[in-house]
């Protein structure tokens, strides 16, 4: 679990993973919060790309294109492309979408690699809460070319029940046949609290209670 433990420490040091009393978008009271908007320096984004690239290597991801959904996915896809090349010698293509189609010049909604039939695409996201961004992304990719979605890579799997008592990640697998690979899960975070790798012992009981109530 070494790189996973390093990633969890990195999230804490970056102010991305914090403990306390929070309310999620779905109205649940949660003892931890993940705000990827707190990554803000060159060092942050460089390290982040390396963790994603390592996750891809761990799972033997077969992809030749990295797609970053606007907006948070854009710097992620770029950083993973850089890390894949500098760390593992894999020169991957990358692309991302515009929120609004460009109506001049070359036009279109995609920037970067021009998707073509047969491309194997890995979607690079931060977290998946309800799976909305992925559901919006798939038609964009499928309309561009007859591509193969290899997988989705995210930073953290909260492993929480959605509307149908399965997680958003499980819903994506069930609905689209796409596997989601998280760098870490909430169980990894709990384990790091237990072994003292990160601060948060005072929230351990609440973490376990939350997991018992909403976990899958």
With H, G, I as helix, E, B as strand and everything else as coil, classify residue 169.
helix
C-beta neighbour count of 139 within 10 angstroms: 9
State the catalytic residue, choosing from 40, 87, 102, 194.
102
- Which DSSP symbol is given to 160? B
Displacement of CA 34 from its chain's centroid (Å): 12
Is 90 labeled as catalytic in the residue annotation?
no
| C-alpha–C-alpha distance, residues 9 and 125, integer Å | 20
Give CA separation, 85 vs 54, 172, 179, in Å. 12, 29, 23
Give CA separation, 174 vs 51, 130, 158, 159, in Å. 27, 14, 18, 15
Q: Are 134 and 152 in contact (CB under 8 A)?
A: yes
Is 87 labeled as catalytic in the residue annotation?
no
Question: Nearest-CA neighbor of 97 among 80, 114, 84, 116?
Answer: 114
Active site residues: 102, 104
């Amino acid at each position: 679990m070494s790189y996973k433990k390093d990633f969890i420490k990195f999230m804490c040091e970056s102010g991305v993973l914090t403990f306390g009393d929070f309310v999620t978008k779905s109205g649940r009271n949660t003892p931890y919060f993940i705000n990827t908007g707190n990554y803000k320096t060159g060092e942050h984004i460089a390290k982040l790309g390396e963790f994603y690239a390592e996750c891809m290597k761990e799972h033997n991801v077969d992809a030749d294109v990295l797609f970053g959904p606007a907006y948070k996915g854009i710097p992620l896809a770029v950083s993973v492309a850089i890390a894949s090349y500098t760390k593992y010698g894999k020169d991957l293509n990358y692309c991302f979408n515009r929120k609004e189609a460009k109506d001049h010049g070359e036009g279109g909604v995609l920037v970067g690699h021009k998707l073509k039939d047969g491309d194997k695409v890995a979607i690079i996201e931060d977290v998946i809460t309800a799976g909305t961004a992925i559901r919006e992304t798939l038609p964009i990719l499928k309309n561009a070319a007859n591509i193969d979605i290899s997988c989705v890579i995210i930073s953290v799997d909260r492993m929480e029940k959605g509307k149908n008592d399965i997680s958003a990640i499980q819903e994506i697998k069930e609905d689209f046949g796409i596997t989601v690979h998280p760098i870490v899960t909430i169980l990894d975070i709990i384990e790091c609290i237990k072994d003292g790798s990160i601060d948060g012992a005072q929230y351990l009981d609440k973490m376990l209670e939350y997991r018992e109530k909403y976990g899958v």
